[in-house]
């Protein structure tokens, strides 16, 4: 699902009470707030959906696929997601 498809689906569920512009603003604010919570609190949990957490990746060795040369990949942070049991059962 793309961002535009999400906006259209939310606008459809909201009915005539909200314009697409208002829905777009709402969706963007929700994702900005979730991203801010993950950054500030290192996690964001939504009951029945799942939990987003910051995960640390260790430094490792990689390989350039073009030349075969070995190179060092720095440590980094990423966001992981663990789905809630309720979500898993609906899949």
Instruction: Kindly report, residue by residue over 29-57, the tens digit of the pLDDT.
Output: 999 999 999 999 999 999 999 999 999 99
Q: Which residues contact 50 (CB under 8 A, 6 or more apart)?
A: 81, 82, 83, 84, 87
- Total Cβ atoms within 10 A of residue 11: 20
Instruction: Kindly report, residue by residue over 52-80, the tens digit of the pLDDT.
Output: 999 999 999 999 999 999 999 999 999 99
pTM as predicted? 0.77
Distance (Å, rounded) from C-alpha 89 to C-alpha 31? 25
* Secondary structure letter of residue 17 according to DSSP: G
Average pLDDT over residues 19-34: 94
| Whether the predicted pLDDT of 23 surpasses 90 | yes
CATH 4.10.520.10 describes domain 43-91: yes
């Amino acid at each position: 699902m793309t961002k535009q498809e999400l906006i259209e689906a939310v606008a459809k569920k909201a009915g005539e009470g909200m314009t697409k512009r208002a829905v777009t603003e709402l969706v963007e604010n929700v994702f900005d707030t979730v991203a801010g919570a993950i950054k500030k609190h290192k996690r964001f949990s939504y009951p029945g959906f799942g939990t987003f957490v910051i995960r640390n990746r260790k430094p490792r060795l990689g390989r350039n696929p073009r030349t075969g040369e070995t190179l060092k990949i720095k440590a980094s942070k990423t966001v992981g997601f663990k789905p809630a049991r309720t979500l898993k059962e609906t899949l």
